[in-house]
């Protein structure tokens, strides 16, 4: 079964893995993208680093070149400035001015003779102090000596001047044909050098700072902007050397939006994918839950359907069987495979009643069955016939269309048999009850019968006497014979009534004249009433109501009610001993009232009145009213009672009138 397959542990494990697969794929995808971005950034950083190094090398070259150029110029003009015999030529002065031009970083040029005396300066200096403004031992002197000794320009250390400005000097020895003339000293401003010597594009990209041997920053070309600390490079500031270093740090470049956007969109897409997978899983879970609920529901319904003893059979609109339940298969003896797809005439139809069943089938297919079902005779596979009660209801699909019929089939063979048995017993009981009634009235009836017989006998002996006496008058004789005939008919009528009343015949269901039946009943009991000195008054509806009934059964009710009334009037004063029988008819019902002036019915008796074997009489059997009510109900009527306002009881029999 598919459900067990999908529920097996291995299938569950596989489903779990399949469920997780998108997450793994997504995680792998995001990791790859992240790696790619990282590699790109790494590559970018390396690119920047190498660009930085190239730029630094270029800057170093540039500074060195500038300083070398200045050195060369100073070497050139040195002898002329220091030679006492000559005045500096115009060209020298021009070169001097050129040196002082702004972009070279030189703030002052001094020329000092071999004895250390200041010979001149530009800008001119009033004091005659020696070079080097730092305190203590004049480092300049040692530097000067070193320059002389080495015979090449020597740079002095950096020293602070006003504020946080730092300067350094270059001592360029000047010679005149092997004779040492002195030194030309160029004083550089570190910050000027750094800021002016570098082109704009360089300072746009980098912050250049000069650090002293202790690592303190003593000059910088700065732009206030966050620095990319990882993109920094330090190189010895050579010349001037002396432990000075150049530190070049790249400014943080413009934010590179492309990778940021790329990452952001990937993260966003990732989030969207995760969200949609999550939604999908939720939906899947909901579906699974619904499926599970549906499975349980359908299992429950199947169990229910399998357990019912009512046969269920579904048909489409063409009458083809689409579904049967086990109870239906058991009932008919056919298997589901044999039944599903079958078209009328169905294999379980009674072959002797094919036409009738087909007719019923057509009616059912057109309009279903009446609320109390339809009874049909069916046949099991083994040939056994059975009675079935069928209830048919339309099958309505989810769109509200009637796409077939669902029939509930009940095997009522046993019930029918039991019902028939009960009916027969009831009938027998009624007949017995009638016999008993007749037995009770036997002496009265015998007496009643005796009267016409006695009359006949007396007329007969009268006739014989006349004949014997030879006084035969034909006219008189005829009159006597007419009387004899009347009496004989009267006797015959009594016997017929008794015979009709006690005769056991099949129950009838015929159109009867209610007044006529009442007259018959009265005919049976009037002798009894006479004997008991009670009067019977009949008040019959002018238009006799017609009802569909068995006349003997209705007569039985009337005899019972009248005799009960007479029993109840035993102690009633003679003048009130009247039983009135009244018939009336309304729109749909006919009503018979039997009104007595007897003892009435107290509450206790009323409770048990219609129960079998309930009696308050010594000789009573207690079955009369019970049988009367059964007969009334058999005729779809009612038997009730109410107290008579003028004393006694009124029994009311209501029967539906016959529909034309
Ligand atoms: P039975 O006549 O054999 O007693 P019924 O079933 O005919 O049986 O009556 C049951 C009881 O109902 C009677 O015993 C009587 O007590 C009461 N009963 C019936 N009809 C009347 C009536 N018209 N007036 C008073 N009591 C009645």
Question: Structural domain boundaries of the chain?
Answer: 67-195, 303-411, 418-504, 510-656
Mutate to test the pocket of ligand 1, among 625, 631, 644 (most ligand atoms within 8 A of CB): 625
Q: What is the pTM of this model?
A: 0.52
pLDDT band at 293 (very low <50, low <70, confident <90, very high): very high
Verify whether ligand 1 is closer than 6 Å to residue 568 (CB atom).
yes
d(CA 433, CA 612): 12
**Averaged pLDDT, 622-642:** 94
Verify whether ligand 1 is closer than 6 Å to residue 52 (CB atom).
no
d(CA 563, CA 574): 16
Check if CATH label 3.30.450.20 holds for domain 303-411.
yes
Residue 132 pairs in a beta bridge with none
> What CATH class is the domain 67-195?
alpha beta
User: Which is the closest atom of ligand 1 to the Cα of 598?
Assistant: 24
- Strand 154-155 relative to strand 159-161, pairing: unpaired
pLDDT band at 254 (very low <50, low <70, confident <90, very high): low
Residue 75, pLDDT > 90, answer no
Closest CA to 249 of 278, 271, 226, 267: 226
pLDDT tens readout for residues 451-464: 899 999 999 999 99
Verify whether ligand 1 is closer than 6 Å to residue 311 (CB atom).
no
**Averaged pLDDT, 630-646:** 94
d(CA 518, CA 547): 13
570 Cα: distance to centroid of ligand 1 (angstroms): 13
pLDDT higher at 592 or 49: 592
d(CA 64, CA 207): 18
Residue 6, pLDDT > 60, answer no
Closest CA to 563 of 634, 615, 491, 485: 615
Verify whether ligand 1 is closer than 6 Å to residue 412 (CB atom).
no
pLDDT tens readout for residues 536-591: 999 999 999 999 999 999 999 999 999 999 999 999 999 999 999 999 998 899 99
Pull the structure tokens for residue 491. 């006797």
Residue 136, pLDDT > 80, answer no
615 Cα: distance to centroid of ligand 1 (angstroms): 6
d(CA 154, CA 177): 20
Contact by Cβ (8 Å): 390, 312:
no
Verify whether ligand 1 is closer than 6 Å to residue 564 (CB atom).
yes
Verify whether ligand 1 is closer than 6 Å to residue 609 (CB atom).
yes
Q: At what angle do helices 9-82 and 257-307 cross, to 10 degrees?
A: 170
Q: What is the mean pLDDT of the chain?
A: 86
Contact by Cβ (8 Å): 506, 540:
no
| pLDDT value for 128 | 44
d(CA 164, CA 352): 131
| pLDDT value for 243 | 81
Q: At what angle do helices 413-469 and 624-634 cross, to 10 degrees?
A: 110
| pLDDT value for 87 | 67
| pLDDT value for 229 | 65
What are the percentages of helix, strand and coil residues in the chain, rounded to 5? 50, 25, 25
Contact by Cβ (8 Å): 405, 391:
no
Overall fold of domain 510-656: Heat Shock Protein 90 (3.30.565)
pLDDT band at 124 (very low <50, low <70, confident <90, very high): confident
Contact by Cβ (8 Å): 201, 223:
no
pLDDT band at 4 (very low <50, low <70, confident <90, very high): very low
Contact by Cβ (8 Å): 545, 508:
no
pLDDT band at 2 (very low <50, low <70, confident <90, very high): very low
d(CA 50, CA 52): 5
**Averaged pLDDT, 641-652:** 96
pLDDT higher at 526 or 267: 526
Q: How far is CA 543 from the centre of its chain?
A: 67
Transcribe 115-159 into DSSP letters.
Answer: TS-EEEEES--S--PPS--SSSS-HHHHHHHHHHHHTS-EEPPPE
600 Cα: distance to centroid of ligand 1 (angstroms): 10
pLDDT band at 70 (very low <50, low <70, confident <90, very high): confident
d(CA 540, CA 507): 26
Q: How far is CA 369 from the centre of its chain?
A: 35
Could you give the percent of the chain with pLDDT greater than 90?
37
Q: Is 572 helix (H, G, I), strand (E, B) or coil?
A: coil
pLDDT tens readout for residues 197-226: 777 777 778 888 888 888 888 877 766 655
Closest CA to 173 of 39, 265, 74, 87: 74
Q: Is 217 helix (H, G, I), strand (E, B) or coil?
A: strand
| pLDDT value for 138 | 44
d(CA 106, CA 1): 99
- Strand 578-585 relative to strand 535-539, pairing: parallel
pLDDT band at 383 (very low <50, low <70, confident <90, very high): very high
Verify whether ligand 1 is closer than 6 Å to residue 614 (CB atom).
yes
Mutate to test the pocket of ligand 1, among 567, 612, 630, 653 (most ligand atoms within 8 A of CB): 567
pLDDT higher at 162 or 393: 393
pLDDT tens readout for residues 329-342: 999 999 999 999 99
Residue 108 pairs in a beta bridge with 187
Q: With b meaning 16 or more CB within 10 Å and e meaning fewer, what string describes 571-582?
A: ebeeeebbbbbb
Q: Is 642 helix (H, G, I), strand (E, B) or coil?
A: strand
Same fold, 67-195 and 303-411: yes
CATH assignment of 418-504, given 1.10.287.130, 1.10.760.10, 3.40.1360.10, 2.60.40.10?
Answer: 1.10.287.130
Closest CA to 419 of 446, 387, 384: 387
Report how far apart the first and last C-alpha atoms of the chain are (Å, whole number): 63
Contact by Cβ (8 Å): 536, 498:
no
């Amino acid at each position: 079964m598919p459900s067990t397959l999908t529920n097996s542990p291995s299938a569950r494990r596989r489903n779990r893995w399949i469920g997780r697969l998108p997450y793994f794929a997504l995680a792998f995808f995001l990791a790859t993208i992240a790696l790619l971005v990282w590699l790109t950034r790494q590559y970018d950083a390396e690119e920047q680093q190498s660009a930085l190094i190239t730029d630094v090398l270029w800057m170093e070259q540039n500074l060195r070149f500038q300083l070398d150029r200045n050195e060369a110029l100073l070497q050139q003009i040195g002898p002329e400035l220091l030679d006492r015999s000559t005045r500096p030529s115009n060209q020298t002065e021009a070169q001097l001015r050129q040196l002082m031009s702004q972009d070279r970083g030189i703030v002052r040029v001094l020329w000092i003779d071999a004895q250390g005396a200041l010979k001149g300066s530009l800008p001119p200096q009033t004091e005659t102090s020696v070079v080097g403004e730092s305190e203590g031992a004049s480092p300049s002197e040692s530097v000067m000596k070193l320059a002389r000794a080495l015979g090449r320009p020597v740079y002095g250390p950096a020293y602070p001047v006003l504020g946080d400005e730092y300067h350094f000097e270059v001592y360029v020895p000047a010679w005149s044909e092997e004779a040492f003339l002195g030194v030309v000293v160029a004083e550089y401003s570190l910050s000027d050098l750094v800021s002016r010597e570098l082109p704009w594009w360089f300072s746009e990209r980098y912050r250049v700072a000069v650090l002293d041997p202790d690592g303190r920053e003593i000059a910088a070309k700065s732009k206030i902007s966050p620095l990319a600390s990882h993109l920094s490079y330090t190189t010895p500031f050579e010349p001037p050397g002396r432990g000075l270093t150049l530190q070049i740090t790249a400014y943080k470049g413009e934010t590179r939006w492309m990778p940021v956007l790329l990452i952001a969109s990937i993260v966003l897409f990732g989030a969207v994918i995760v969200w949609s997978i999550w939604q999908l899983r939720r939906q899947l879970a909901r579906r699974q839950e619904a499926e599970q609920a549906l499975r349980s529901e359908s299992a429950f319904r199947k169990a229910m359907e399998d357990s019912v003893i009512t046969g269920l059979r579904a048909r489409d609109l063409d009458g083809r069987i689409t579904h049967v339940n086990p109870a239906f298969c058991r009932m008919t003896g056919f298997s589901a495979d044999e039944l599903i797809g079958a078209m009328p005439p169905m294999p379980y139809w009674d072959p002797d009643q094919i036409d009738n069943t087909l007719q019923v089938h057509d009616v059912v297919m057109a309009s279903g069955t009446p609320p109390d079902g339809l009874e049909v005779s069916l046949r099991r596979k083994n040939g056994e016939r059975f009675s079935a009660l069928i209830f048919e209801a339309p099958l309505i699909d989810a769109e509200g269309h009637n796409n077939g019929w669902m029939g509930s089939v009940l095997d009522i063979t046993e019930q029918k048999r039991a019902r028939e048995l009960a009916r027969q017993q009831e009938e027998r009981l009624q007949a017995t009850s009638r016999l008993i009634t007749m037995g009770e009235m036997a002496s009265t009836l015998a007496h009643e019968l005796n009267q016409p017989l006695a009359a006949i006998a007396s007329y007969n002996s009268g006739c014989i006497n006349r004949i014997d006496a030879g006084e035969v008058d034909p006219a008189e004789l005829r009159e006597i014979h007419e009387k004899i005939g009347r009496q004989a008919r009267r006797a015959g009528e009594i016997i017929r009534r008794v015979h009709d009343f006690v005769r056991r015949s099949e129950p009838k269901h015929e159109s009867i004249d209610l007044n006529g039946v009442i007259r018959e009943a009265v005919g049976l009991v009037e002798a009894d009433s006479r004997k008991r000195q009670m009067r019977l008054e009949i008040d019959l509806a002018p238009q006799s109501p017609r009802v569909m009934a068995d006349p003997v059964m209705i007569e039985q009710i009337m005899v019972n009610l009248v005799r009960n009334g007479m029993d109840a009037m035993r102690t009633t004063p003679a003048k009130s001993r009247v039983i009135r029988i009244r018939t009336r008819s309304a729109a749909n019902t006919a009503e018979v009232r039997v009104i007595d002036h007897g003892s009435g019915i107290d509450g206790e008796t009323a409770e048990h009145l219609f129960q079998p074997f309930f009696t308050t009489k010594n000789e009573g059997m207690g079955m009369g009213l019970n049988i009367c009510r059964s007969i009334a109900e058999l005729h779809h009527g009612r038997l009730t009672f109410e107290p008579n306002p003028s004393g006694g009881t009124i029994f009311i029999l209501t029967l539906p009138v016959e529909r034309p």
